[in-house]
Amino acid sequence: MSEPVAVTGMGVLTPAGSGERALWERLCQGRSTAASDPALKGMPVDFSCRVPGFDPAGVKSIAWRTNRFIQLAVVAARMAVADAALTPKRWDSRRIGVVLGVGASSMEHWPGETEKLLQGRLRAVSPLALPRSIPNMAAGEVALDLGATGPNLAVSTACASGASALGVAKDLLAADRCDVVLAGGAEAPRASEMVALCFSRMSVLSRRCQDPERASRPFDADRDGFVLGEGAAVLVLEKAGHARTRRAGVRAWLAGYGASADAHHPTTPDPRGKGAAAAIDAALAEAGLRTGDIDHVNAHGSSTDFNDLFEARTLSRVFDRPPPVTANKGCLGHGIGAAGAIEAACSVLTLQHQLIPPVANFTRPDPRIDLDIVAGTPRPHGVEAVLSNSFGFGGQNAVLVLTRA
C-alpha cells in the first residue's frame, strides 16, 4: 500500500464544453452531446461528440505547428495548473513531470501530405507533418508551455491511455522522481476522416445516423456501438507533503492504480474477465481497500454489445453486490486516449458533489446484465471511494481508485 496522491487541480475540455462546470451540468442532465459532424460528411458514420466552440486562437503561438489533440492538451493543462494555484516556474521545474495518454494519435493532415507524395511533389511535404502528429508531442508541448523539465512521457494503451497515464504518474510520485505531475489524456479522433473511417470499418461505431443523440447508450439493451468523441483532461497530481507545504487544496486522492493485459485477442476483451479483474484487484490492493469499501463504479461502458456485457459480468464476479454504476460515454462519447482521464475527472466531481450522474440513454435494461445502473436523474449517494475502469484494444486494462478528500 503506497501513500495516496493528492489531486490538487483539474482542467477539462469535453463535448459538454470548456471547464468542469459545463461538464458536470451536462452529466447530471443525462443528455448526450452527439450530433452531426461536418468534418465527417460523407463518411458511413457522420456524427460524433465534439468539443464545442474550441478556438485554436487560444493557443495561437503553437497552433501553426500542432494538431487539435495537442492544442486541447495544452489548454487543459493550463486550466489544471490555474485550478491548482500552481506556478511551475516558482518551484523546481526538474521535479515537475508531465504524463499524457494518447491512443490513436493524429492523422488529420496525413491525407493531404500523402497526396503530395503520390504526385511526386516531395519537397511540398510539410516538415511539420510528423512532429504535429506523433503521440508524445502532447506531453512535449505541455512541458514547453509550462516550463516543466521533469520526466516527460507519452502513454499509449489505446482506450485505456488516459487512465494509464494517471497510474504512471502516480508511480513517478511514489518513486520520488517528481513532486508534481500533470497527468491525463488528449485525443481528437473525429478530426481525422481516416481514423473515423477505420473505427467504422471495424463495426464498433453506432450506426444511428438519423438519431445521433440516442446513439451512445452504455449497458442499454438497444446499444449498437460507441460514438467517437474528443477532448482532454489534465489532473495535477501531487505528493501529499508537497501539497501541504504550499497549502494547496486537495480535491480528491488517487489512492490506487492497477494494470494488466488480457493476452487474449487484439481487439476483443477476454470474456472471462480475468485481466480486468486482476487490474481491479491490484488497484484495490494498492489503495488498501476491499470491494465492500467501493461506493460507486464509473464504468468503461463503451456502448458496444460485447464490451459492456464483459464488463458487467466482471463486476458481478468481483463484487458480491456491485455498487451503483454510471458510464460517462453515454453523454460524452468515446474520447479514446482521453476517455480514462476525463472519467477520472468526472469521478472527482462525484466525490465532491456526493451525487452520481445518470447513464445517458439508458432506457431499456439488458436482461443479461445484473448491475445497479444509475439512470434518468442523478442519484444522491454517500461516495467515499470510486472505482474507475478503462479498457482498450490490445487487452489493455487500467483501473483507478479515487477517494474523497
Interacting residues of 244 by C-beta distance below 8 A, sequence separation 6+: none
Tell me, yes or no, if 334 is annotated catalytic.
Answer: yes
Length of the chain in terms of residues written: 405
**Separation CA 152–CA 274 (nearest Å):** 32
**Separation CA 178–CA 176 (nearest Å):** 5
DSSP state of 256: E
Q: Answer for the pair 63, 55: CB distance below 8 angstroms, yes or no.
A: no
How far apart, in Å, do the first and last CA atoms of the chain sit? 18
Tell me, yes or no, if 28 is annotated catalytic.
Answer: no
Which is catalytic among the residues 49, 178, 296, 300? 300
For 134, the grid coordinates are 506523433
Tell me, yes or no, if 159 is annotated catalytic.
Answer: yes
DSSP state of 179: S
**Separation CA 33–CA 31 (nearest Å):** 7
**Separation CA 112–CA 279 (nearest Å):** 41
Q: Answer for the pair 25, 275: CB distance below 8 angstroms, yes or no.
A: no
Residue 385, H or E segment: strand 385-392
Which is catalytic among the residues 49, 178, 331, 334? 334
105-123: string of b/e by CB count within 10 Å (b at 16+)?
bbbbbbeebeeeeeeeeee
Phi, psi of 101 (to 5 degrees): -95, 135
* CA-CA-CA-CA dihedral for 37, 63, 133, 42, to nearest 10: 20
Residue 275, H or E segment: helix 274-287
Which is catalytic among the residues 49, 159, 178, 346? 159
For 362, the grid coordinates are 439508458
- The sign of the CA dihedral 120, 125, 130, 132 is negative
Catalytic residues: 159, 300, 334
